[in-house]
Amino acid sequence: MTVVCHHPWFLCLLLPWLLFCLAALRPGVVAVPVSTLTGLAGTTDSPWHRSRAWFWLTAGAAFWLVLGLSQPQLIYRRDAQEVPRPNLLWVLDMSGSMEASDWPTGAEPSMPVRAEDVPPSRLQLARQTIATFLDRVPVSRSGLLAFAQQPYLICPLQRSSVLLRERLEQLQPGDFADGTAIGEAVVCAVRALQAEPPARPRIMVLLSDGADHSSSQSQSSPLAAARLAAQHDVVIYTLGVGGPRGFHPVVAENGLQRWQPVGESLDEAQLRSLAELSGGRYFPAADAEQFLVALEELSQQVEQQLLSRPVWQRCELARYCLLLAALGLLLALIMRLLFPRLEP
């Protein structure tokens, strides 16, 4: 915080003002208020007597007047909080298990099952979550990367989400070689986000229902990929898709369709470590209800990606100084009328 004056030469007038005030502090001749004539003998004229209040008020008004003529300005620093729109890349697992549906506890899939009784598949819930998030939370640029055995940048980061939505609906697990290469997908996503200017937060949202198939010692392992993301200021949020009651329809040898449990289980510990190493969070999404909860929490987390930048504020003080000068003159006039002095 600092104060600057546009016309500092007016401050030179404060030197004679200071000398005049110092001279007024010397005791002078006897001068008492008219209302206290009794006991006149031996009375001293104190510079702080109430009968001289008008003088000090006038001196104060002169000080504020000189200060106002110099046009002072107060400059102070304020930390402004703003919510920048982040660049966000969706990383979607497209392995075969994403076609499975998670059935509620106590409900067993059996044949025949009416289509309206089948819970939405994991891929359908992931699509709905991405579309709802894009409608609710403003981002600067959004993109989509899909992966199974290999990652593919389906939609580069763009300001408009029209192309992302179109390609998201066109994705099918059958178009990908089955597998779950989470580490390679994260590395590919970091490179895609790194190509954008670093002025805005970089966020990656990973949705997966499986475990990574690469070696933990590999350079593209999930934990190594998370450290790479942290080095490039990429925050990863992970959604663990699906629960222990995931079933997907398969065609038996006799040509009939039956429900088969998902063979691979979700590695929640790995997804949680992946998120925490990059400064993000893990959200479980075992079924449709938990998907909604995860969507709410994810939206809050992304909206809290704040940037604090210093902003210099300027405040003109001249008007306040002149106002104080006018007020001081008014009070001086009132005190002069209330406590007149009797000069010899």
**What pLDDT, in 10s, does the model give residues 144-190?**
999 998 999 999 999 999 999 999 999 998 889 888 899 999 999 99
3-class DSSP assignment, residue 314: strand
CA–CA separation, 317 vs 67, rounded Å? Answer: 9
pLDDT at residue 127, rounded to an integer: 92
Average pLDDT of the residues of the chain: 80
| Cα–Cα distance for residue pair 344/337, rounded to 1 Å | 19
Distance, C-alpha 244 to centroid of its chain: 36
Which pLDDT value is given to residue 24? 75
Percent share of the chain, pLDDT over 70: 78
Q: Which two tokens stand for residue 298?
A: 């994810």
CA distance 37 to 227: 89
Q: What is the pLDDT of residue 242?
A: 83
The helix or strand, by DSSP H or E, that contains position 76, with its residue range, turns out to be: strand 72-82
CB atoms within 10 A of CB 139: 21
- In tens, the pLDDT along 55-93 reads 888 888 889 898 888 888 887 777 665 657 889 999 999
- Per-residue pLDDT reduced to its tens digit, 94-131: 988 888 888 776 666 665 666 566 778 889 999 999 99
Say whether 49 sits in a helix, a strand or coil.
Answer: coil
Measure the CA dihedral 166/294/147/216, to 10°.
Answer: 170
| pLDDT at residue 6 tops 90 | no
272 — pLDDT class (breaks 50, 70, 90): very high
Query: Is 196 a residue whose pLDDT tops 50?
Result: yes
Copy the structure tokens of residue 154.
Answer: 């389906």
Report yes or no: 193 and 202 within 8 Å, Cβ to Cβ: yes
User: What residue has token string 């580490």?
Assistant: 183
Six-digit token string for 16: 């004679």
The domain at 84-305 falls in which architecture? 3-Layer(aba) Sandwich (3.40)
Kindly report the backbone phi and psi dihedral angles of residue 328, in degrees, each rounded to the nearest multiple of 5, phi listed first. Answer: -65, -40
Q: How confident is the model at residue 212 (pLDDT cuts 50, 70, 90)?
A: confident
Strands 202-208 and 234-241, by their bridges, are parallel
Residue 24, C-beta contacts closer than 8 angstroms, at least 6 positions apart: 47, 55, 59
H or E element in which residue 93 lies: strand 87-93
The per-residue pLDDT for 30 is 40
For residue 325, give Cα distances in angstroms to 4, 37, 57, 74, 104: 20, 33, 9, 19, 77
- Per residue in 285-328, pLDDT tens? 887 788 889 889 888 888 776 555 556 678 888 888 899 999 98
Taking the C-alpha atoms of residue 115 and residue 120, their distance in angstroms, rounded to an integer, is 10
Distant-in-sequence, close-in-space partners of 217: CB < 8 Å, separation ≥ 6: none
pTM of the entire predicted model: 0.63
For residue 35, is pLDDT > 50?
A: no
Instruction: Please tell me the distance from the alpha carbon of residue 31 to that of residue 45, in angstroms, as a whole number.
Output: 6
Which residues does residue 142 pair with via DSSP β-bridges, in sequence order?
88, 158
pLDDT of residue 337: 84
* pLDDT of 239 above 80: yes
What is the CB-side half-sphere exposure of residue 75 using CA atoms within 13 A?
10
- pLDDT at site 36: 47
The answer to whether the beta carbons of residues 111 and 258 sit under 8 Å apart is yes
Model confidence at 137, pLDDT cuts 50, 70, 90, reads confident
Q: Which of 144, 139, 135 is nearest to 168 (CA)?
A: 144
User: What pairing do the DSSP bridges indicate for beta strands 72-82 and 87-93?
Assistant: unpaired
Domain residue spans of the chain: 2-78+312-342, 84-305
